[in-house]
Structure 1
Amino acid sequence: MAEVSYIDGPRGRLAYAYTEGELPCIVFLSGYRSDMDGTKAVHLEQWAESQGRAFLRLDYSGHGRSGGVFEDGCIGDWAADAALVIKHVVNGPLILVGSSMGGWIASILSKRLSQTVGFVGIAAAPDFTEEEFWAGFNEVERRQVMEEGHLEMPSLYEDPYWVTKKLIEDGREHLVLSTPLNMPWPVRLLQGTEDEAVARGTALKLLDHIKSDDMRLEFVKGADHRFSSPDCLTLIEDTVTEVAQRA
């Protein structure tokens, strides 16, 4: 595994691991409350190294090995963190691989990073603070978020966590499904049919919304939100390879 390095960010030190190799650089963007030591990120790093490809994984502030407090962060902060690390490390074309929330952040960065030449979304969750959190709250929960500043939410995988007023309000400033989303490069979307966090309709909505002449959506029957089975990991490898070849 690549050595973990750090740079100073506005909300604390930002951790990243970079593997040198052939460009375009593959940049893995992890999900909400996930980090760069997750199964997909580490697997892809090892695979990229075996292929001689450049690879970058990173932690947003409040996530994993980076500094900062998770509850203080929001989509805009985490997108800015990722952009800061990418600009610091990568000098050349890049392919954004976004898992869950990372798919939203990749969509935001695709508008900011001119060196982007490809996008792979894995159970991509654009606009989830509005489409999933806010839309799923009842009136009592909505008032609690706005008046008390946060709402405690149960987790399928870990301890309960807070959804904050800042997260909701900032998310509305970074919605990507309500504004044009031009991606003039290869785009591949991967989605499990048994995903308990991101509905199939979200993948279809993203497919219809992105403007790209080279775009495909592939459903994997039985795959859940983790999308980390051996077959899913192999599919991610093949998909990234295809995007790199067509970029």
Structure 2
Amino acid sequence: MSERSGFLERPGGARLAWRKVDGRGPTVVWLGGFKSDMAGTKAQALADWALARGRAYVRFDYFGHGESSGDFRDGTITRWREDALAVLDALVDGEAVLVGSSMGGWIACLAAMAAPARVKAMVLVAPAPDFTEKLMKPEIPPEGLADLARDGVWLRPSEYGEPYPITRALLEDGARWSILEAQEVPIAAPVRILQGGEDPDVPWAHALQLAQALKGPDVVFTLVRDGDHRLSRPQDIARLLAAVDEAVS
């Protein structure tokens, strides 16, 4: 058994890069974070898990991320949600277990709300629903607001590499996809959430708010007290794989 790769053609000539392990379902689908890609530690660990267990697995890069085409600055929550749904339609047979990290947790929720019959369960790592409105926008400094007003883009410093371009279009579009404003997030599938207590990007209380809002009764929230945002240490990966094992069973 091996992992194969390809590109999914999207409207406007965009191409989404993907990698797939054929195996027993439900298919585990990796949904990465903001400015992340499918070559990261957790995504690769899941590929190794799928190959070892004979499980179906799909990972991909959103528009403007990793190996996919497009300018990151042109990306929006709308577009990345559509990417996830296109991958479900084109590359997944039957039910899926959505594994979303950070922004990918938000995209996973949006995909599950759009196609509930396709989602068997979800495993979310430091999920960041509504992050553009609730986590990012309040922290934009005055000079950043001035840049957005003047140029439509602000270069946000990042601990993980080069500054991230944050566009006015991303912020405005993200506000339209808010899910935490409602009293209930209409997802009935089982959900497992792994959250670091020392996460500087997604406060544990934010992830807990999602856990409390989910409609389904089968929700487990695990706080890794000394965990960071990435949760990519060996012990964190072990927790992730255990949660995915439970979700696919």
Q: Give the alignment's TM-score, normalised by structure 1.
A: 0.95
CA distance in 2: counterparts of 1:18 and 1:176, whole angstroms: 30
Match of 2:203 in 1: 199
Q: Deviations over 1:186-227 (max 9, x none)?
A: 111000111111101111111111111100100112111111
Q: Specify which of 183, 194, 205 is matched with residue 187 of structure 2.
A: 183
Match of 1:172 in 2: 175
Match of 1:152 in 2: 155
Q: Deviations over 1:17-41 (max 9, x none)?
A: 1111111111010000000011100
Q: CA deviation at 1:151?
A: 0.9
Q: Deviations over 1:41-73 (max 9, x none)?
A: 011011012111110100001000000000111
CA contact (8 A) 1:32 1:102 kept: yes
The count of aligned residue pairs is 245
Q: CA deviation at 1:161?
A: 1.9
Residues 1:57 and 1:163: Cα distance change in structure 2 (over 3 Å): same
Paired residue secondary structure (2:64): coil
Match of 2:166 in 1: 163
Paired residue secondary structure (1:195): coil
Match of 1:41 in 2: 43
Q: Does 1:54 align with 2:56?
A: yes
Q: Does 1:142 align with 2:183?
A: no
Paired residue type of 1:243? A
Match of 2:220 in 1: 216
Paired residue secondary structure (2:65): coil
Paired residue secondary structure (1:134): helix
Residues 1:58 and 1:48: Cα distance change in structure 2 (over 3 Å): same
CA distance in 2: counterparts of 1:145 and 1:81, whole angstroms: 26
Paired residue type of 1:160? P
CA contact (8 A) 2:188 2:214 kept: no
Paired residue type of 2:5? V
The correspondence of residues 68-107 of structure 1 with structure 2, limited to 5 A, is 68-107=70-109
Identify unmatched segments of 5+ residues in structure 2. Answer: none
Paired residue secondary structure (1:160): strand
Match of 1:17 in 2: 19
Match of 2:234 in 1: 230
Q: Does 1:117 align with 2:120?
A: yes
Q: Specify which of 14, 30, 33 is matched with residue 32 of structure 2.
A: 30
Q: Give the alignment's TM-score, normalised by structure 2.
A: 0.94
CA contact (8 A) 1:134 1:142 kept: no
Paired residue secondary structure (1:103): helix
Q: CA deviation at 1:244?
A: 1.8
Paired residue secondary structure (2:28): strand
Paired residue type of 2:64? G
Match of 1:5 in 2: 6
CA distance in 2: counterparts of 1:119 and 1:19, whole angstroms: 19
Paired residue type of 2:58? L
Q: CA deviation at 1:139?
A: 4.6
- Over 4 Å off, 4+ runs: none
CA contact (8 A) 2:156 2:164 kept: yes
CA distance in 2: counterparts of 1:14 and 1:237, whole angstroms: 26
CA distance in 1: counterparts of 2:236 and 2:50, whole angstroms: 16
CA distance in 1: counterparts of 2:9 and 2:248, whole angstroms: 30
Match of 1:133 in 2: 136
Segment drifting more, 135-144 vs 59-68: 135-144
Q: In angstroms, what is the RMSD of aligned CA positions? A: 1.3
CA contact (8 A) 2:23 2:57 kept: yes
Q: Deviations over 1:121-170 (max 9, x none)?
A: 10111111111111112455334313420111101011112110010000
